[in-house]
Chains A and B, each alone.
Chain A
Amino acid sequence: MKELYKDLAKHAVSYAKKQGAEGCVCKIAKGKSDEFIGEQNHVSSINSNEYIGFGITVHYEQKRGTASTNLVNKKSIEDAVDQAISIAKFSIADPFLTLTSLDAGKPASSLDFLYHNDWDQVSRNLYPKILEEGLKELSSHSYVAIDRMSLTVSENDEFYMNSNGVMQSEAQTHASWSVLGMAKQDDYVSGMDWNSGFSYGPKDLEKKFHSTMNGFSTKIKGLLERGKSKSYKGCLLITPRCIDDLFLEIPLGHMSGRAVMDDRSKFADDDHGQYFHPSVTLTDHPHIAELAGSTSYDSEGIPTKERTLIKDGKIQGFLYDNYSATKLKQKPSGMSGGPFGLQLHKGDQSLKALIESQPQLLVIDRFSGNSDFTTGSFSGVAKSSSYYENGKFQGIVDETMVAGNAFELAKNVVGIENKLNINDDTAMYPHVLVDGVSVTAS
């Protein structure tokens, strides 16, 4: 990041202190991107953007205020500081407001895989060609209806500093791509589905892009194999794509320090309680080249590290940010803004064995519905999901509802697949077979 911007950040912090703030954080995010967009069978638009944003948080008389601006000059930065102080003045004093200390915010080791200089050697003309080939390939299949395909190449730069002297910075390059569409045949139109891909560097970009598109074509074709499910109460096989929505999101929320502090966590009584089945182990990996969430420091400037969140079904403590750590007299966990790269450890059963183990089985790929954070209950429609009877595929099903409770699913694990799959470029999950779900066919 240019020294100009870092100097402006330093100026923001010193100006805030001059104005009477006892603490200040300044975050800068700067970047540029080229986005190539395709619709149906042609490149519809090419968009170039450059951005910069300054976010300033002040602690003033134990009150917090935040302001942001995308105007890069001393006056605008000072105006943003003044605005943050002005908001803080009307807030309520809170003795637990804390900024990351120098000790907790030691300089993070850089992650070399995040930034690739060789993007400069790739001609911009290549990207629309890659997109066009992808569109041509997918459009050649009569069963594929493309809504939108995109390829974005970006470069981002971030800088964090606070009035305790903590300074972190990180630069990143990446390409991300996606396709959104549905299956169609005669009068039938399936639900929407998508595939996406990601890479920090340009190596094998075309190959990875086309692999994503080929995967999408196969998936979409599969949606035409329609069948009917039957209503039952019993097991559900959760695909990697659905693990966050149905299996992890709510329990992980109850592990947050904020939920504990607000008496909203079901786990508050025991920070090493057995809330999951003993076969469940979950770790967070912030430094993995294959995952898009990798980062060397969290949103509060604390260096990240690999961390076990659940071991053999027992949670390994709560996840504190600075505020909840201070309030509950704990140390911050360095996971603010995270988790960054979850891995649910694989089990010992093949996918085939999991499917064949049940007389009736819905394999849920996406969940479209509502979940209640407080009670853990969920209810909604299974999308792009398939139904099996005695291990035999019966078809992709429409209008099939699922209902259950996330806390019960966490304990009622019947089996875990012996293979990991990268999910949406952000996590690595196996398929998980759980018991205790109601499936209602249309």
Chain B
Amino acid sequence: MVDKKFLKEIVDHYDDYIELRHHHRTSQSFNAKKGRVDSARHGEKGGVGVRVLKNNQWGFASTTGSSKEEIKSAIEKALENSTLVNSSQKKEIKLQEANLATTDYKSSGYDDLSSKSTEEKLSTVVDFEKKILAESSKIDFASCSYSELIEHKTIVTTDGACATMQIALPEFRVGALAKSGGEQITHGVSAGVNGGWDCLFKHPSLDGVIQKTAKMSVDLLKAKYPDGGKKQVILSPAVVGLLCHEAIGHTVEADFVKAGSVAAGKIGQRVASDLVNMSDTGMETTSGWAVGNIPFDDEGVPTEDTAIIKNGMLNSYLHNRETAYEFGVKPTGNSRAWIYDCEPLIRMRNTYLHPGNHKLAEMIASIQDGYLIEGAGSGQADANGEFMFGCSYIWEIKNGKKVNLLREATLSGIAFDVLQTVDMVSEEFQWDLGSGYCGKGQPAKVDAGGPYIRCMINVGGNA
């Protein structure tokens, strides 16, 4: 690992803004299916990314080396890049002031996961796959995978950031394919945390995961498709998380706002019902294990809870130091890069709806004809807030009772329109999108979640 004082000694020789980011990552992944280990991998990648700001132009370079000469050579390359553009189209770039981080942070799971044996991780994966297969004669195929990222990052800038962080991000996935009488269906569950091994298996989604996964895939064999149409629904925390992250979160990233996203020019306007409060946070404390927990971002800006929507009114965008200055606000700590050779972009961290006062049971009892939407799958959303999410299963609600399990629903709509219809928000809350990656030209580990919410949404069913 590279010492932060060593990096500080290097940057102190420069007058321009220089940002050094040493990032070392160890990764492991194991996958078991059909009684075999399909892949078992270990990776190491590390280096120093250099970003400079000179004459209103950013330049970036990177090196896998960690010697003073190699890092200085990368700085010179980045400075050379910043001089390549001599143009009247350049705009003035200034960075917003911030109390930059000087701390050393290690997440609670770092030592635990680093010392966990490969043997135990791999044998757990093999064991879970066997057990899911053994749960029912109708389970024809099972799979199980585990992956982890163990990261050590050092950020040093010429204007005062000098900090380190060590975090561990394990995740777990199981899947089952059930077959019966010509019908077949797949179902899967996944979970990810910012923490250690035990923390991962304490995630609510992994509680009884073997039995739950097998049972749900078998039960779905008999399930019908939902009727399509605009329906009153209760969205589960995972689906709420998808909505927050995909359909709203990206539209309020300041670079996207500048490009003209649907959130542009809407600060201070109503975008949701007044029951809706939505934030993006870098250090959530309700569970302590949300995957996007980082003490500071890749510019050294300490993270905090950024209130995006307050009582239904759009309150803030997500910023790096450059856009914060342009918009005349505090930086929000959203500047993140995937690995050392990527430039930082504005990314989310943990995006969520705040819990409310209702109980889930009372919310179900309030619906005469609608759905409880669970089984969140993948989702996509667009610059105009139009979204489409897939759900592997939902529950029909009739006269206030959960009655039938239904399969493969899709949800669609315009995000801000859906949020305007929110009229109940539960006190129950969960982080539930910590597995997988957000993509925006480069990956990012994030989390999302929320309470259960009652709203109106388009539900798509069978063709």
Q: Does A232 contact B (CB under 8 A)?
A: no
Contact B77 A191 (CB under 8 A): no
**By the criterion CB–CB under 8 Å, are B60 and A47 in contact?**
yes
A184 pairs with B140, CB closer than 8 A: no
Give the chain A neighbours of B382 by CB distance below 8 A. 191-192, 368, 383
Chain A contact-residue range equals 35 or more
Contact A380 B410 (CB under 8 A): yes
Pick the 8 closest A-B CB pairs, nearest first: A370-B390, A145-B260, A147-B259, A46-B81, A403-B463, A47-B60, A191-B382, A45-B58
Using Cβ atoms and an 8 Å threshold, which residues of chain A touch B96? none
Residues of B within 8 A of A262 (CB): 33-34, 141
Question: Which residue of A is nearest B43, CB measured?
Answer: A68
| Inter-subunit contact B84/A91 (CB<8 Å) | no
**In angstroms, how far is the closest chain A Cβ from the Cβ of B350?**
24
Q: Are A68 and B33 interface neighbours, CB within 8 A? A: no
Interface contact B37-A64, CB-CB below 8 Å: yes
A333 lies within 8 A of chain B by Cβ = no
14 additional A-B pairs beyond A67-B44, A401-B388, beta carbons within 8 Å, are: A43-B89, A48-B77, A49-B341, A53-B45, A70-B64, A87-B28, A94-B37, A125-B84, A136-B89, A182-B383, A233-B463, A372-B408, A383-B382, A437-B463
CA distance A263 to B42 in the complex (A): 29
In the assembled complex, which residues on chain A have CB atoms less than 8 Å from the CB atom of B64? 50-52, 70-72
Bound-state Cα–Cα, A148 to B256, Å: 9
Given contacts A94-B37, A262-B33, contact A87 B42 (CB under 8 A): yes
Give CA–CA (A41, B91) in the complex, Å: 9
Q: Are B412 and A399 interface neighbours, CB within 8 A?
A: yes
Pair B59/A90 contact, Cβ less than 8 Å: no
Q: Report the separation of the CA atoms of residues A398 and B262 in the bound assembly, to the nearest whole angstrom.
A: 14
List A contacts of B89 (CB < 8 A).
41-43, 132, 135-136
Assess whether B388 is in contact with A440, with CB atoms less than 8 Å apart. Answer: no
Which residues from chain B contact A67 at a C-beta distance below 8 Å? 41-44
The B-contacting residues of A in range 25-48, CB under 8 angstroms, are 37, 39-48
Inter-chain contacts of A132 with B (CB < 8 A) = 85, 87, 89
Inter-chain CA distance A39–B91, complex, in Å, is: 11
Q: Does A379 touch B at the CB level, under 8 Å? A: yes
Q: Which residues of A contact B126 (CB under 8 A)?
A: 92
Q: Across the interface, which residues of B come within 8 angstroms of A191, CB to CB?
A: 382-384, 386
Contact digits for B14-57, partner A, Cβ 8 Å, 1 yes 0 no: 00000000000000100011111101111111110000000001
B148 within 8 A of A: no
Are A128 and B85 within 8 A (Cβ)?
Answer: yes
- Once the chains bind, are B82 and A46 in contact (CB under 8 Å)? yes
- Tell me, rounded to whole Å, the shortest Cβ–Cβ distance linking A83 to chain B: 5
Instruction: Check B59 against A46 for contact (C-beta < 8 Å).
Output: yes
| Interface 9-mer from B4-12, B116-124, B208-216, B363-371 | B116-124
Whether A42 pairs with B60 at a CB distance below 8 angstroms is no
Contact of A190 with B42 in the complex, beta carbons under 8 Å: no
Given contacts A87-B118, A92-B37, contact A403 B462 (CB under 8 A): yes
A69 lies within 8 A of chain B by Cβ: yes
Is the pair A65, B42 in contact by a Cβ cutoff of 8 Å? yes
Name the residue on A nearest B380 (C-beta): A368
- Point out the residues of chain A lying under 8 angstroms from B122, CB to CB: 87, 90-91
Complex Cα–Cα for A380 and B380 (A): 10
Binary interface profile of B, 255-269, with partner A (CB < 8 Å = 1, else 0)?
Answer: 110111110100000
Cβ-defined contact, B410 with A379, below 8 A: yes
Given contacts A191-B386, A372-B186, A403-B460, contact A92 B36 (CB under 8 A): yes
Q: Which B residue's beta carbon lies closest to that of A184?
A: B260
Q: How many residues of B contact A (CB 8 A)?
A: 75
The listed residue (A72, A92, A438) touching B463 by CB distance below 8 A is A438
Q: Is B13 an interface residue (CB 8 A)?
A: no
In the bound complex, what is the Cα–Cα distance between A49 and B62 (angstroms)? 5
* A358 adjacent to chain B (CB < 8 Å): no
Q: In the complex, which residues of chain B have a beta carbon less than 8 angstroms from the beta carbon of A91?
A: 37, 40, 122
Contact call A440/B260, Cβ cutoff below 8 A: no
Q: Please, how many angstroms separate the alpha-carbon atoms of A296 and B39 in the complex?
A: 25
Binary per-residue interface labels of chain B (60-85) against chain A in the complex, 1 for a CB within 8 Å, 0 otherwise? 11111000000000000110011011
- A405 on interface, CB distance cutoff 8 Å: yes
Q: Which residues of B contact A370 (CB under 8 A)?
A: 377-378, 390, 410
Query: Across the interface, do B36 and A190 meet the contact criterion of CB distance under 8 Å?
Result: no
Q: Does B185 contact A (CB under 8 A)?
A: yes
* A80 CB–B CB distance under 8 Å: yes
Note all chain B residues with C-beta closer than 8 A to A94: 36-37
Q: How far is the CB of A101 from chain B (nearest CB, A)?
A: 22
Chain A residues closer than 8 Å to B123, beta-carbon distance: 90
CB distance from A126 to the nearest CB of B (A): 10
Q: Does B288 sit at the interface, judged by CB under 8 A?
A: no
B61 engages A48 (CB within 8 Å): yes
B177 contacts the other chain (Cβ, under 8 Å)? yes
CB-CB under 8 A from A374, the residues of chain B are 177, 184-186
| Bound-complex Cα distance A88 to B45 (A) | 20
- State in angstroms the CA–CA spacing of A399 and B410 once bound together: 13
A375 within 8 A of B: yes
**CB–CB B61/A49 < 8 A:** yes
A147's contact among B82, B256, B377, by CB below 8 Å, is which?
Answer: B256
A147–B390 alpha-carbon span in the complex (Å): 27
> Which residues of chain A (97-119) have a CB below 8 Å from chain B?
none
- For B62, the closest partner residue in chain A by CB is A49
Q: Are B388's CB and A66's CB within 8 A?
A: no
CB-nearest residue of chain A to B80: A48
- Contact A68 to B258, CB < 8 A, known contacts A90-B123, A374-B186: no
Residues of A within 8 A of B384 (CB): 182, 189-191, 398
Q: In this assembly, does B443 line the interface, its C-beta being within 8 Å of a C-beta of chain A?
A: no
Which A residues touch B259, using CB under 8 A?
A: 39-40, 145-148, 181-182
